[in-house]
Amino acid sequence: MEATISFRDVRVGFEEGDIVRGLSFEVFPKETLVLLGETGTGKTLSLKMAA
């Protein structure tokens, strides 16, 4: 089965530094993805990249 969403070693940053570094995951059909973490750790940014 092929992944619906696949991130491999994704990096996003600004002049101040990296926000997301080394993000890798795959989501397959009928799976649920949960992103957990403290405020400011890139959860929303990661979902926006997938949209």
Where helices occur in the chain by DSSP H, the ranges are 43-50
Q: Compute the average pLDDT of residues 15-36.
A: 91
Give the number of domains in the chain. Answer: 1
Residue 36: is its pLDDT beyond 90? yes
Domain residue limits at 21:
5-50
Provide the sign of the torsion angle of the four alpha carbons 7, 3, 39, 36, taken in this order. negative
Q: Compute the average pLDDT of residues 12-32.
A: 91
Q: Compute the average pLDDT of residues 1-27.
A: 90
